[in-house]
Amino acid sequence: MTRYVIEADGGSRGNPGPAGYGAVVKDAASGEVLAEAAEAIGVTTNNVAEYRGLIAGLRAVLRVGGEGAAVAVRMDSKLVIEQMAGRWKVKHEGLRPLASEAGGLVRRLRVTEWTWIPRERNQHADRLANEAMDAAAKGLEWTATTTPASGSTSSPAVLASASPEQTDLLDVADLSGGATTTTGDLSAPTASVAAAQQRTASPGRRTDVGTGWRPPTRVATSLLLLRHGETALSLERRFSGLGDAELTANGLAQAAAAAARLSREPYRLDVIVSSPLARARRTAAAVAERTGLDVEVDDDLREADFGAWEGHTFTEVQRRWPAELSAWLADPEAAPPGGESFAAAAHRVRAAGERLVERYEGKTVLAVSHVTPIKMLLRLALMAPLESLYRMHLDLACLSLIEYYADGPAVVKSFNDTAHLLR
């Protein structure tokens, strides 16, 4: 009996923003592509798009393999994989109908594996999702021409649409972010399905896709990430989110040291962008004074909102909110009481990063921000899961550097560089 593999993905440019999904069904033994699906689904979030990609993949398997078909599901969405495997609860009301729909399709199949895979191993589905979004942005439909496998009961799926963290106080290093797998037996020999696949370019398909943000270029966009200087809250290792703490005297000295470094070669800043919070804006102002540049403010570069925990030490939070703290440390979807989850912060930070890279293509941009947004941008460049936030440490007034190419992956060139503070 033929066994199948679903690889699915979804994305949103803005989160929420113009979104799309992609899914591919393969023969588990030969790796041959049996079906593809992609669609632009209007304005929604990454998680909704990822669930829609899974649903499209499950439907495609039913069309190709029929009821009871054995299938392994692989996605780079930790949230969808863990929720569908039953290890995480579906907490967001907007995702419950989609999880229920996917569950109904799963019951008609035999899912042997729910596996999280890194984004670089999910490039086929990611490309399909980006192609669908690109086509919709041009008012076109995504189309595919794939010859169905011998013996399959229907054509491959062709779907189209014409419309378009950690805190400022501590670094937790106890949580893993590795691949999670529930495995059935997919190694037994299976009958190979002969398939002829022909992919042809059409007005609705791009053959030159780079990052999915814009046409390919070999000009790097450099994003320098500067954490703000010391405040009284960071000195005392207290949760410091949206509270507007000012820099201490030492924090001002750290900002001045960073400014002196950034005003010399090899740095040639074109743009300075800052979080709206006072500690970041004062750090950015020190650089602006040395470079003669103005400071733009991007609200999405603000620190995460720690709600009721603002101003408290980790120990105080652990004593007063033990259950909530445990949940927050275990699940990126969990938020402090009255605050913001890492998953929610990831949406706006991703949007900020994409705006900066697109708006200032080929330039050197300094973004002055906080621990959570900087870690988010670094982990996105590394295609790492949200849990990787707990595996990074950023010092006060440190510098990190990401370079972006539209025709290649983002490259992290430096991380937590504090050489300017050692003089």
Tell me whether residue 101 is one of the annotated catalytic residues: no
Tell me whether residue 303 is one of the annotated catalytic residues: yes
Other CB atoms closer than 10 Å to residue 212's CB: what's the count? 18
Region of 15 please: left (phi>0), alpha (psi -120 to 50) or beta: left
Instruction: Find the catalytic residue in 36, 113, 303, 310.
Output: 303
Beta pairing partners, 366: 224, 272
Q: Where does residue 202 rank: exposed (0-12), middle (13-18), buried (19+ CB within 10 A)?
A: middle
Residues 6+ apart with CB under 8 A from 12: 18, 19, 43, 44, 45, 46, 48, 49, 347
Q: Where does residue 21 rank: exposed (0-12), middle (13-18), buried (19+ CB within 10 A)?
A: buried
Instruction: Find the catalytic residue in 228, 312, 347, 370.
Output: 228
**Which residue carries 């995460």 as its tokens?**
304
Other CB atoms closer than 10 Å to residue 137's CB: what's the count? 13
Q: Which residues are catalytic?
A: 228, 303
